[in-house]
Every structure is written in structure tokens, then in C-alpha cells.
Structure 1
Amino acid sequence: MALISLKSFGVTMSAPLFSNLDLTIGAGDRLGIVAANGRGKSTLLRCLTGEIEATAGDITRTRGLRVGHVEQAVPDALLDRSFHQVVADALPPERAESERWRVDVVLDSLDVPEPMRERPMRALSGGWQRLALIARVWVTDPDVLLLDEPTNHLDLTRISQLETWLNALPREVPVVVASHDRAFLDATTNRTLFLRPEQSPVFSLPYSRARAALSEVDASAERKFQRDIKVAQQLRRQAAKLNNIGVNSGSDLLTVKTKQLNQRAQRLEEAAAPAHRERSAGAIKLANRGTHAKVLIGLDDAAVETPDGTLLFKTGRRHICQGDRIVLVGRNGVGKSRLINLIRNAIVEPETAAQSVKVTPSTVLGYGDQALSGISGDDTPLAILSRRFDVGEQRARSLLAGAGVNIDVQERRIGLLSGGQKARLMMLALRLANPNFYLLDEPTNHLDIDGQEALETELLAHQASCLLASHDRSFIRAIGNRFWLIEKLRLTEVDDPEDFFTSVAEAGG
């Protein structure tokens, strides 16, 4: 039975986000919603809760339906409450005491350690805050669960635990997930909605298989469009010939026939619909200035330490060579980011670098981290490009627009931009630096699926040398040609990341 039904549903703001959407959500559904940044995923979730009204169509919910909605941001009012209190406060006042036991049941199911439960939200990492919001909604016993980017800020261990938790939920409770994490969608969904301005296809398949099916549908639509246009052109050419003959011969019959052919051509042209073309959120382009050096970075048993000097691991003797795309894999806290920072400091400040890190002089760094720390929140996109790179204002504006930073936000404080806009600004800055070696810490954070795939394409096309850390399994599989595993205070090279992924999944289960 459908719990929520949408008929000819649509939302238009400055332009249509989606329209003509027919969708039912019922027991057993695990629906993934896929769209580019800013294209209506969060809006649709708010429509399902009733928070936002549609501009077209109808929505029907079963009487008394309880919809649980886990949003992306933590409300400021919750930041000074403890993890446990945030969840407990979601219970209805009349049941707060009698059902307080439910809080611990939910926290246990999400494997939240006891000490973590008493910490204030403000002191928690983004990943733990995310789990607190999920627990806060689930403790209310919703009939439908809506999740908006649930893997944001989660490490692989927590992502795996969340996958296990979602897959163990009662099947009568449908789950709707808006996410850019391709592997997560594959692991947790059985239906996929591709949200589009005109028609939004729905497939009874998880993401990757649905994406392949969508490509076939789009290709078929494009073939039909080209075929119809070709037939229409043939009809018009035929009509033109008959018209010439009719004019010369004075034949009324040929004149009528000409009109009929033109009418058929017009009907075909009006009915012909080109295949969907995804409107780009901004191009991601990289560069690679190249180098004659074969070895870019040498590590001679370099010690990777915490800020207070505690040894995390030693690298052993390692080399990063031209064309290497090395992915660091390991659980949170093992030192992936510390190794990236160690190498970065050796490139940027060679006079203070450890003797165990050798950098080829021709190495030019392109660096991006998960906090987007290379771009100041108080600056503006236009100011950064104009000041940091040798481009004039007009060129800077053009580059920003091409990267998805539209003219209306180019002079806005970067701190006010969306995560996707900041990420694309960072990618543009990397391109203009024209490096020959990339250090990337969680580069797919804030990028939508199109952006992730564009980044993959650019790194591969430019044969860029890079060392990166990521929690995005699809990205890791697509990019890496070498893999360094950090565990048990050691760094070792492995053939692929699959054993590590499996061990994380087993631990999460």
C-alpha cells in the first residue's frame, strides 16, 4: 500500500526543479534520489514532509502518517545539548519519561559509545553529529524515514555501520535517501529516482544498475529524436519538390499534397523531444604542467606523528613517481591526513622539512583538503582569483561562471557559499595553479555525482600524479593505481582496497 503518492508533482522556483513527477512510496521501498547540487533533492524531501508546497500537482499521504526527516544541518539550538539529550528531547513530552529507554536502544543500534553520549553536540565531529540527527528522528518511531545526504562527514567505518543499520530496519518502513555517495546508494536502495526538470525517471533498481538503464533510455530517446527529425526533413524536401511541380503545372492536387506533407513534418517536429541534457553545475577542469622527473617524492622511513609528537606510523622506504595515483586507505585517526600534511609541508617549506622526505625541485603542488582551507571564508571568489592568479577581472568572472560560481555570488563572502560552490571554486584554483602533483584530502566532499565523475575523468585524462585520501569507495576504485594501507602502526602497499573495504564492512556489521 502506498503511504505517499505524488501525481503530476512539480516545484518551480526561478526555474523548474522538477515537474510531472508521478511517484508512490510504500512498504519495502528503499528509494534513492539522485540529482546535481541545487536541483531539488532537499526540496522534494521537504515536500514529502509537508514543509514546502508544490507549485503543481498533488500529494497524498495516508491519514496520521509520521514522516521522519533527517536534514543536513544541525540546528543551532541543539549545539549545546548532549548527544543523549538531543535524542531524548525528540520524544513527545507526554512519553518522555515512560519511553526514555527507547533512546538507549536507538543509540545502541547505532553503536554510539557510552562516553560519546554525554558530549555536547558542539564538541562532536560532523560524523557523530550526523548520527545524532538520525537517532533523534528514529527514536520518534516514524512511518517513513527521509535522509538528506546521510553519509556527509562519515568515515568508511561509520558509513558501513549506517548501511548495516538501514538494511536491518523493518521493511514496512520505507526509506528515502538523497545522496551523492554511489556505493552507499548501491548498498542501501532498491529504487532510484533521477530528478529532472521535465520528466523524472524512476527505476526499480539500485543506483548503478539504474544509471545504466537510464543511459539506455536516454540513448533510445535521442535515436528516436534524430529519426523523427530526419523523417520531417525528408517530408519537407519532398513537399518542396511537389510544390515546385504543382506551381509549374498548376495542379491543385499537388498543392494539397504539399500542404499535407508539410503538416505531417510539422507534427513530427513538434512532437519530437531531444534526449535529456543535464544542465552542468559548472565544469571541473584540472591541469598537469608535467615534469621530466620520474620520482617526485621520496620517503625514507619518515615518521608520521600527531601534533603532540606521538608516533602514528613510519612510512618505510617509498617513492611517489610520475603517473602514480596513490590512494591512502585506513580507518579514521590512523594518520592519512597527517601524512598528506607532512608531504605538503616538505613541498611548501623545504627549509623546515624532515630529512626523511625528499621532494624533486621541479614539483609544483596542487593541494585541496576536506575543510577547503585554501580559500578564506572572508574572501570573495572574485578577489581570490584576481589576487592569487594573473587574470584580469573579466577573465576571472568568466572562469568563475564556467566553474559554476555564478555572477550573482562572485562578490559574496565565500563563507556564505554552498559546499558545492566552494568545492568547485577549490577545483578552479587547483587548475589555475597548473601543478604536476596533487595532494587531495577528501576531494569529493561536497561534489555531486557529476562533479565526482568529472574529477575522475580529469585526473585520468591528464595522467595526473597524486596522493589522496577519500572515503568515497566508487572514487577510490575509479582513480587509484596504487594503494597504501595504514594499519597497526604500519604503512604497506596492497594490490587493491577491496580487502580493506570488506574488513570495514564486517566490522560495521
Structure 2
Amino acid sequence: MTLININALGVTLGDPLFTDLNLTISKGDRIGLVAANGRGKSTLLGCIAGSFDPTTGEITRARGLQLAHVQQHLPQGAAGKTLYDHVLGALPQEQQDYESWRVDVVLDELKVPYDLQHRPMAELSGGWQRTALLAAAWVTQPDVLLLDEPTNHLDLHRIGLLQEWLGALPRDTPVIMTSHDRAFLDAVTNRTLFLRADQSRAFALPFTKARHALDAADAADERRFANDLNKANQLRKQAAKLKNIGINSGSDLLVNKTKQLTERAAKIEAAAKPAHREQGAGDIKLANRGTHAKALITLDNAMVETPDSRALYETGKTWITKGDRIVLLGTNGTGKTQLIKMIHRALTAGEVPAIKCAPTVTLGYSDQHLSQLDDADTPMTAVAGQFDIGDQRARGLLAGAGVNIQMQDTKIGTLSGGQKARLAMLILRLQQPNFYLLDEPTNHLDIEGQEALEHELINHEATCLLVSHDRSFLRNVGNRFWQIDRKRLVEVDSPEPFLRAEMAG
């Protein structure tokens, strides 16, 4: 049964975000909405929810349809409320007095600990805030659920709980969601919409299978377009030959035939649609400065501690050698980031005796908060001021990294999370390191950016130690895996047992 019909929908904000979009949403649909950062995913959800007016087209909703829209950020005034009161406030006033039990049921379904339920939202982590927004949406018993980046700020355990919760929803409840987590989309969707400025495509498949189908469809379009142009070119060649013969012979028949062939060629050219070309938000390209050292980093029973000097675990004796792409696995709070910071200190200040670094190591470092970027700086000064490449070259590199000309002289603090992440990767590239320390490098990167980073790390045989909650990313990139297990750092053959345990919680 069709609940929502989207017909020829388009939104233009300066440039078209999407045009001529047609989509039906029926009972049981679990739709993954995929596009690069800033390409209209949140805008489309707003259109479906009725909070944003499209430029063209229309949306028809079934009579009496109730939608719930979980946005990325806390609504105004929510920060001062407790989690419980925020969820209760989603109910109409008359229901709050007599049906507050609904809040308890939803919070229990989402496994929100009691002690967190009565804390102010402002004191909660981003992950628990997102859970509160989800609970406030679901407590209203909507017919359709719209989720904008529901896995943002969630650790693997909470992502596992969210997947389980979505799987337990009534099967006929449609859910439309945006996400950059490919493994999550594979687990919870049965349809995928690739949103584009034009030629958006939908497939009745989860993300990975849909991506293969999209690539095949784009390749077929490429072949069809080339064939159409070739056919038109051949017709024009025939017309040119006949024209010469007709002129020389004075044949009106041949002149008319020439005109017909030319008109046919023009019609084919007008009807031919070029294959989709994604206007990329910027390629991420990493360099890999050479080193002859076999062991870049040596850990000699280093003790990893909390900032207040409480022992967490010991590394044992191990090495990071050239070409290693090591993924550090461990539950939240076990000290993954602390090890990254220790190695960073060893490389930059030489103050960790148990960590030895080869003198030829050139470090590339990015933490999960992108603290290496100065929000008061501008992208241009961050690039041209650090590297002797000239202003013109700097602007070209920034544009290629997805920071358009209008944003290049504004404060870094005003950039989106995705733009900041791409700027950080560009600066890493220009530093030309031979060893990367990456703490949650895919935070804020869209799927296109994640895949570009994966490609560069693998194809350039980069040496790196990284932490990531993104299952697809760490599976694709890692060729060694270290796990923090019972106060020891141990090497494991595969991340899968750890991931299964985390997701099951």
C-alpha cells in the first residue's frame, strides 16, 4: 500500500540539489538515502516531513498519515530538559497526564539506563542525545519514521542496539534514513535511493548490492550515450556525402535526403542523455614519503594510562613495519585513543621511553575532533601558509578537496564537519608523511569520501595505525588487527569476533 507518492520533485538552492525525483513509499519500505555531503538528503527528508517546501513537484501523503522526523541536532530548548521530560514532551498535553507509561516503554525498548533518563540533555553524550530524539519520535506512534544520520556519535554497541531495535519495529512501518555507515545500511534497509542533481536512481536492494546495480546502470548509460553519438555521427557523415553528390548532380531528391539525415542526427543528439558524472566533493589523495626503515615504531612493553595516570593495559613488545595498516580494536574507555596519543608524543616530543621511532618517520596525524585545525584560521591560510605552493595552486587543491571558492577565505570554524574532514585530509596529503596516526578518520566523511580514503591508504601502501567504529572502513583497510583484551594488547587474525561481541553487547 502506497503511503507517500513523490512526483517530479526538485529543490534548487542556488544550484539544483535534486530534480525530477519520483519515488513511492509503501508499507514495509526501509529506504536508505545516499548522497555526498550537502547534496540534499536532509532537505529531502524535510520535504517529506512537510517542514521544507520543494521548488518543483509535489508530495502526496495518505489521509491522516502521521510522520516523525528525527533530525541531526537538538531542537531549541531541549538542552535544558531531562531526557525523560524531552521524550514526554513529544506527547500531546492530554496524553502526558494519563499515558506517560508510553515513555517508560520506549526508553526500555531503547535500553536507556534509568540514571541517564533524569539527567539534563546538555550533560549527555551526543550518542545519548540522538537516542533521546529517536525515543521522542517513536513515542508518538508514527506511521512513517524519518531518520537523519541516526548512527552519528554512536559506538558499535549502540549501533548494534539500534539495528536490533529497527529490526523489531512493526514490519509494515516504513523507515527512510540517511547514513554514511555502509554496514548499517546493509543491515537495516531493503531499498536504496541514490540522490543526485539529476538522474536519481532507486533500487529495491540494500546499499552494497544497490551500489553494484548503480555502477552497472551508469556503465550502461555510458555505452548507450556513446552509441547514440556514434549513430548521429555516422548519419552526419552520410548526409555530407549525399550533399556533395546532390549539389554536383542537381538532384532535389538527394538534397531532401541530406536534410532528413541531418534532422535525424539532430534528434538523436538531442535525445541522448550523457551518463551521470558525480560532481565529486573532492578526492582524498595521500602521499607516502619513502623510508628505508623496516620497523617504523617499536613498542617495548609500554604501559598505556589514563590522563590521571591510572594503568589501562600493557602493549607487550611489538612493531609497526612498513606497509602495515593496523586497526586498534577495543570497547569504549579501554584506551584506544590514549595509545594513539602516546605514539604521537613519542614521535613529536620523544618523551615516551618505551616507544622507539625510526628517525626517518614523517608523521601524519588526525584525531577524531580534528583538533589539528584552528577554527580561527581560514582554509587558504591553513594550506598556503604551511606549504610553499602558491595561492593559485592552494585554491585549486582546496576546490579539489571539496572546499569551494566561497568558503576558502572564511573561518574554518564555519565549515561543515565534512568540509573540515576533507581539509584535514588535504593537509595530511601535503605533509607527505610515511606513517599515519588516524583516530576516527571517517567521522563526518560521506561514503564517497570514505571510499576515496580507503582507496588511497590501500593503493599507496600507506603505513598507519587507526581507530574506527566504521565496520566497512576497518574491514576494507586493515591488514593487521590489535585488540585491547584484559589489560593486554594482543594481535588477532580478524576483527569479526570483536565486532560480533560488540554488536551483540
Bin for the TM-score computed over the shorter chain: over 0.9
Name the counterpart of 1:303: 303
Task: Report the alpha carbon displacement of residue 388 of structure 1 after superposing the two structures with TM.
Answer: 2.4
Name the counterpart of 2:503: 505
> Mapping of 1:129-140 within 5 angstroms?
129-140=129-140
Name the counterpart of 2:90: 90
Task: Report the alpha carbon displacement of residue 505 of structure 1 after superposing the two structures with TM.
Answer: 2.5
Name the counterpart of 2:403: 405
CA distance in 1, matches of 2:465, 2:298: 13
CA distance in 1, matches of 2:63, 2:147: 22
> Mapping of 1:49-448 within 5 angstroms?
49-350=49-350, 353-448=351-446
What amino acid is aligned across from residue 367 of structure 1 in structure 2? Y
CA distance in 2, matches of 1:148, 1:73: 9
Is the 2:157–2:502 contact (alpha carbons within 8 Å) kept by the matching residues of 1? yes
CA distance in 2, matches of 1:478, 1:466: 14
CA-atom RMSD in angstroms:
1.2
CA distance in 1, matches of 2:13, 2:482: 46
Q: Note if 1:479 corresponds to 2:481.
A: no
* Paired residue secondary structure (1:424): helix
Query: Per-residue CA shift, 1:99-138, capped at 9, x if unaligned?
Result: 1111121111111112222222222211111111111111
Deviates more, 1:374-383 or 1:336-345: 374-383
What amino acid is aligned across from residue 502 of structure 1 in structure 2? R
Query: Per-residue CA shift, 1:195-224, capped at 9, x if unaligned?
Result: 111221111110111111111111111111
CA distance in 1, matches of 2:19, 2:445: 24
What amino acid is aligned across from residue 404 of structure 1 in structure 2? G
* Paired residue secondary structure (1:492): strand
* Paired residue secondary structure (1:409): coil
CA distance in 2, matches of 1:130, 1:370: 19
Query: Per-residue CA shift, 1:445-503, capped at 9, x if unaligned?
Result: 11111100100111112111000000111111110000111132221111111111222
CA distance in 2, matches of 1:377, 1:123: 24
What amino acid is aligned across from residue 4 of structure 1 in structure 2? I
What amino acid is aligned across from residue 485 of structure 1 in structure 2? Q
CA distance in 2, matches of 1:56, 1:385: 40
Task: Report the alpha carbon displacement of residue 296 of structure 1 after superposing the two structures with TM.
Answer: 0.5
* Paired residue secondary structure (1:455): helix
Task: Report the alpha carbon displacement of residue 276 of structure 1 after superposing the two structures with TM.
Answer: 0.6
What amino acid is aligned across from residue 200 of structure 2 in structure 1? S
Name the counterpart of 2:24: 24
What amino acid is aligned across from residue 41 of structure 1 in structure 2? K
What amino acid is aligned across from residue 89 of structure 1 in structure 2? G
Name the counterpart of 1:468: 466
Deviates more, 1:181-190 or 1:49-58: 49-58
Is the 2:401–2:426 contact (alpha carbons within 8 Å) kept by the matching residues of 1? yes
Task: Report the alpha carbon displacement of residue 340 of structure 1 after superposing the two structures with TM.
Answer: 0.5
* Paired residue secondary structure (1:170): coil
Aligned equivalent of 2:454, options 444, 453, 456: 456
Query: Per-residue CA shift, 1:311-335, capped at 9, x if unaligned?
Result: 1111111100010000011211111
CA distance in 1, matches of 2:89, 2:273: 52
Q: Which sections of structure 1, spanning at least 5 residues, go unmatched?
A: none
Query: Per-residue CA shift, 1:66-100, capped at 9, x if unaligned?
Result: 11111111234211222222212212111112111
CA distance in 2, matches of 1:23, 1:191: 11
* Paired residue secondary structure (2:97): coil
Task: Report the alpha carbon displacement of residue 407 of structure 1 after superposing the two structures with TM.
Answer: 1.4
* Paired residue secondary structure (2:484): strand
Q: TM-score of the superposition, structure 1-length normalised?
A: 0.97
CA distance in 2, matches of 1:90, 1:158: 23
Is the 2:345–2:352 contact (alpha carbons within 8 Å) kept by the matching residues of 1? no
* Paired residue secondary structure (1:340): helix
Kindly, what percent of the aligned residue pairs are identical?
A: 60
CA distance in 1, matches of 2:235, 2:227: 12
CA distance in 1, matches of 2:116, 2:358: 44
Q: Aligned pair count?
A: 505
Task: Report the alpha carbon displacement of residue 395 of structure 1 after superposing the two structures with TM.
Answer: 2.7
Task: Report the alpha carbon displacement of residue 146 of structure 1 after superposing the two structures with TM.
Answer: 0.4
CA distance in 1, matches of 2:284, 2:468: 18
CA distance in 2, matches of 1:119, 1:394: 51
Task: Report the alpha carbon displacement of residue 246 of structure 1 after superposing the two structures with TM.
Answer: 1.3
* Paired residue secondary structure (1:97): helix
Task: Report the alpha carbon displacement of residue 394 of structure 1 after superposing the two structures with TM.
Answer: 2.9
CA distance in 2, matches of 1:119, 1:87: 13
* Paired residue secondary structure (1:319): strand
CA distance in 2, matches of 1:408, 1:22: 32
CA distance in 2, matches of 1:141, 1:238: 66
Task: Report the alpha carbon displacement of residue 255 of structure 1 after superposing the two structures with TM.
Answer: 1.0
What amino acid is aligned across from residue 430 of structure 2 in structure 1? L
* Paired residue secondary structure (1:215): helix
What amino acid is aligned across from residue 173 of structure 1 in structure 2? T
Deviates more, 1:115-124 or 1:475-484: 115-124
Is the 2:157–2:504 contact (alpha carbons within 8 Å) kept by the matching residues of 1? no
* Paired residue secondary structure (2:98): coil
CA distance in 1, matches of 2:254, 2:221: 34
CA distance in 2, matches of 1:318, 1:115: 41
* Paired residue secondary structure (1:273): coil
Task: Report the alpha carbon displacement of residue 309 of structure 1 after superposing the two structures with TM.
Answer: 1.3
Q: Which sections of structure 2, spanning at least 5 residues, go unmatched?
A: none
* Paired residue secondary structure (1:388): coil
What amino acid is aligned across from residue 286 of structure 1 in structure 2? L
Task: Report the alpha carbon displacement of residue 270 of structure 1 after superposing the two structures with TM.
Answer: 0.8
* Paired residue secondary structure (2:491): strand
Is the 2:301–2:314 contact (alpha carbons within 8 Å) kept by the matching residues of 1? yes
What amino acid is aligned across from residue 353 of structure 2 in structure 1? Q
CA distance in 1, matches of 2:388, 2:153: 35
CA distance in 2, matches of 1:71, 1:18: 20
